[in-house]
Structure 1
Amino acid sequence: MSAGRAKAVVAQINELCAELRPHALELVEGLGIPEAWLNSQMLEDETAARWTPGA
């Protein structure tokens, strides 16, 4: 996959995530995700800020 196409894919994924974000709680509740999983370190702001896709 070319670098340009990869960037386009990432941009599209980000756009779709932004579209889903307002519905995140409903999705989590609807899928029955255990509340304990919601305390994952990956979900902490500091960790999320350092995380980069593909790293």
Structure 2
Amino acid sequence: MIDANLQVVIFNNIYFAVLTLWWVKRVVNKPIIARSAHQPDDPVFILWKSLFREQRL
């Protein structure tokens, strides 16, 4: 029998892998400039914009 903790770890790894693939697919399909026009309050865009702003300063 698989340990309960191990089961949770495996599930979390699969979940995050799927989530990451979905996010990458979403970002690739919608360029950042196009996304900013349609979704200015997108948390991912806000995070990216703030990181980019910090790099320029």
TM-score range, shorter chain: 0.3 to 0.5
> More helix per residue: 1 or 2?
2
**TM-score with structure 1 setting the length:** 0.46
Compare relative contact order (CA 8 Å, sep 6+) and give the higher one, 1 or 2.
2
Which protein shows a greater Rg? Answer: 2
What TM-score do you get using the length of structure 2 for normalisation? 0.45
